[in-house]
Structure 1
Amino acid sequence: MTEHSIFRKETRAAVAASSAVYERQPYFIRNYSRCRELLLTEKDPEGAAEAVRFGIMHARLLHLDCYLLPIVYIDWMLPELLKDLKKQGIPDTVIMESLRDIEIWIQSYRKYHQGQVGLDRIEWVFRSLAGKVQRFGSLQFEKVTYEFPFLVLENRQSGKLQAMAYPDLVADQDGYFAGTNARKSVSIVKTELEYREGNLHGYCADLKRGTLNVEEKASYCLENWEVKLVPGEEAVAVHIPEGADLSPDSIDASLHAAKSYYENSILICESWMLDPHLELILPQTSRVVNFMHRFYKIPVMADRPQILERVMGFDFTMDKLLQFPCTTSLQSALKKYLSEGNEMFTTAGFMPWNDNTTGRNTGL
């Protein structure tokens, strides 16, 4: 058992009890070696997570505590992980803040498994272990390929931002992608995007509502507007850890600290915390609402709103709504809002990332 401070006492005890059991099985030594190679040498957290899932299957076959296996593997490789992350030039404080995300997901697992120690968000955690996701203060940051189907434009004089939809997207009557929340489409609009004579013609996002403006098309002259972000380019994504301090000062400090590490000028995010409907269930002084206002909003396709699992619980379904026992004011407000037939939406967004970035940068 490695001595370190990223695990709680009960996690360390569970790992210590199971580690010797796994060490005695040659299969798990081989499986661990493959996982270690994928994570540390090949920097492939997705492949490493898949290798661990095979290990979990084998552990279940042997009636072992199978979801403790990923934590055992992490414990075994932790000294090498720390050296590798330092070699990447990541500051020690950022390394420790990033690794503490592991315990957050261990506690989440315990909540839904009668207090049992385990980890099932393996791929996400391995992205932190590989140095791909890094935590600076309140927020996590990750270099990603920008995939939202919108061109981000910036006015060359005012700095104002706009988003134009790629062609052949299907939106419903309210400007959400058809099928979002499994809602019925009364009518649909298929987007178009055309470039001719120095102008872009197409459908734009309503950056305040997080929908497509399906009522009319717009035109932007590229002499006056610069294309800042195109699908397929590198971007930096923002993630909000559970329990993060969302006070404006803490968010500003997090953005400022991370800015010195990344070169991108635009941040992207996809979260329930970007849904403009939060204003209808939370006070204007809410830290979540303040965070939401930092972003220009665009729609994203999601089968069900992320807020259901993140606020009500990962085992929540809408048929449990009326009997759901609320323990927080946000749960109570959300329950009332949904029981009245209203909807919430997972929403994507972007924001300029510069030295003047603040909670008022969108002007929305």
Structure 2
Amino acid sequence: MHEIDWKQFSAMTMIEKPLQERLSAWFDFLKSETGIVTILEQGELAITQQAEKEAALCIKQGCSLVEQENQSLFPLVFLAYVLPASLALFAEKKIPDMIVKDTFSDVGRWVAAYGKTHQGAYGFDRYYWILHHFCAHLFQIGRLQYEVGTFAFPYTIYRCKQDNSLVCLADKNLQVNASGHLCGTNGNYAGKWETLWSVQGGSLLANRVDLETGTIVQTPVQFSYDDLDLLVQKGSPVLHLHISEGSPLTPAEVTESIKKAKTFFSDLHITFNALLCDSWLLDPNLSKFLPEEGNICSFMRRFSKFPVLHEHPQILERVLGPLAPTTGSSLGRLLIEYLQKGGSVYTTGGFLTEEMFMQ
């Protein structure tokens, strides 16, 4: 078992000094607990092997072994202990120092978020999420975060040879509501119908997705397979784009981040078929109550959109919920006015194809 460099952990994760001191004092006690030591050492091995599920299991087991009032702090002790192993992964990949520091600073953001929802108490409850970072599967590059993954949504994306347009087709037997969203989205099951996917000879009959509205069109469309170039299907390698809390999401910062990400992943010899995102920030309905040329709508319009299943709109938590700015915001006020007038909001998926990403 090794000691923890608490100054390094604080510098990398941006946690406050009082929290650092509290964790350091508690770790001095935990070092004498054989079960905890074993878990920390197993967790360090899991990080070395980039095994997120195994690392998460170690954290869960550790939390069960400590007193209840400290269970929300154990994930931070774990992260501090495995930090050297995680940094070794980044060093092996020759990740630039700025990207390393920006990536790990997400810990501090979620510690602050925990305090907002727990009357100012210290703690950390997003360890499943942060293990993407510690296993070197997610990187903060400028304003945005990027995670290597695969396409898992029930759609197939093509490019039409005839006019070079993008076509997104829904899988068969999807349950869709009257608004064109997946059944259960926002708790709505009204007007339910089912998607079709029928192949006859060289023709395909299927329900397309309206890439502007992010909804599934009920009337099927027939395509010739000879006119379709496959771009993305289930299992295709993609980059998942995440938007962390931080500076305004200006078009310039987004463009710069995407350009840097292109170079970054090319240097790592990581290939992908699309840049993918699902967020409240991709909802086309945002343009109904926000400025068309504002940062949020500009970001939303970059993406070709498709519906995703969320029981509750993500925007309600992020803009009106406990994680919203304590002073309120013009976005929150405009959202409330829009909802009071009967407006709807959705968490929406979107993609940039590799061709668009390379621009």
- TM, length-normalised to structure 1: 0.89
1:284-303 Cα shifts (integer Å, max 9, x gaps): 12211111001111011111
Pairwise mapping of residues 207-226 of structure 1 onto structure 2 (< 5 A)? 207-214=211-218, 216-226=219-229
Pairwise mapping of residues 39-50 of structure 1 onto structure 2 (< 5 A)? 39-41=47-49, 43-50=50-57
CA contact (8 A) 2:86 2:136 kept: no
How many residues end up aligned between the 2 structures?
Answer: 346
Q: Which residue of 1 aligns with 2:41?
A: 33
Q: Which residue of 2 aligns with 1:351?
A: 352
- The 1-side partners of 2:64 and 2:172 are apart by 43
Structure 1 residue corresponding to 2:169, chosen from 146, 164, 168: 164
Q: Judge which range, 150-159 or 171-180, deviates more.
A: 150-159
CA contact (8 A) 2:113 2:323 kept: no
- The 1-side partners of 2:24 and 2:170 are apart by 53
- The 2-side partners of 1:74 and 1:272 are apart by 29
Q: Which residue of 1 aligns with 2:31?
A: 23
- The 2-side partners of 1:289 and 1:66 are apart by 40
Secondary structure of the structure 2 residue equivalent to 1:304: coil
Q: Which residue of 2 aligns with 1:255?
A: 258
| Compared CA separation, residues 47 and 341, structure 1 to 2 (3 A) | farther
Shift of 1:281: 2.1
Shift of 1:242: 1.4
Q: Which residue of 1 aligns with 2:16?
A: 9
Structure 2 residue corresponding to 1:206, chosen from 207, 210, 215: 210
> In the alignment, is residue 289 of structure 1 matched against residue 297 of structure 2?
yes
- The 1-side partners of 2:157 and 2:357 are apart by 19
Shift of 1:158: 4.1
Q: Which residue of 1 aligns with 2:277?
A: 269
Q: Which residue of 2 aligns with 1:229?
A: 232
Secondary structure of the structure 2 residue equivalent to 1:264: coil
Q: Which residue of 2 aligns with 1:129?
A: 134
- The 2-side partners of 1:184 and 1:219 are apart by 27
Q: Which residue of 2 aligns with 1:362?
A: none
Q: Which residue of 2 aligns with 1:192?
A: 196
| Compared CA separation, residues 286 and 198, structure 1 to 2 (3 A) | same
Q: Which residue of 2 aligns with 1:336?
A: 337
Shift of 1:114: 1.9
- The 1-side partners of 2:275 and 2:163 are apart by 19
- The 1-side partners of 2:320 and 2:75 are apart by 26
CA contact (8 A) 1:139 1:244 kept: no
CA contact (8 A) 1:326 1:332 kept: no
Secondary structure of the structure 2 residue equivalent to 1:223: helix
Q: Which residue of 1 aligns with 2:321?
A: 313
Shift of 1:356: 6.7
1:268-311 Cα shifts (integer Å, max 9, x gaps): 11111111111122111221111100111101111111111111
Q: Judge which range, 169-178 or 333-342, deviates more.
A: 333-342
Secondary structure of the structure 2 residue equivalent to 1:251: helix
| Compared CA separation, residues 314 and 162, structure 1 to 2 (3 A) | farther
Shift of 1:326: 6.9
Q: Which residue of 2 aligns with 1:319?
A: none
CA contact (8 A) 1:86 1:92 kept: no
- The 1-side partners of 2:59 and 2:155 are apart by 36
Q: Judge which range, 269-278 or 49-58, deviates more.
A: 49-58
Q: Which residue identity is paired with 2:208?
A: C
Q: Which residue of 1 aligns with 2:125?
A: 120
CA contact (8 A) 2:170 2:209 kept: yes
| Compared CA separation, residues 158 and 21, structure 1 to 2 (3 A) | farther
Shift of 1:106: 1.0
Specify every segment of 5 or more residues in structure 1 that has no aligned partner in the other structure, as ranges. Answer: 317-323, 359-364
- The 2-side partners of 1:244 and 1:299 are apart by 27
Higher fraction of helix: 2
CA contact (8 A) 1:207 1:296 kept: yes
- What percentage of aligned pairs have identical amino acids? 26
Q: Which residue of 2 aligns with 1:96?
A: 101
- The 2-side partners of 1:53 and 1:165 are apart by 37
CA contact (8 A) 2:39 2:62 kept: yes
Shift of 1:315: 7.7
Specify every segment of 5 or more residues in structure 2 that has no aligned partner in the other structure, as ranges. Answer: none
- The 2-side partners of 1:184 and 1:356 are apart by 35
1:328-353 Cα shifts (integer Å, max 9, x gaps): 11111112222333221111111123
Give RMSD over aligned pairs: 2.1
Secondary structure of the structure 2 residue equivalent to 1:67: coil
Q: Which residue of 1 aligns with 2:91?
A: 86
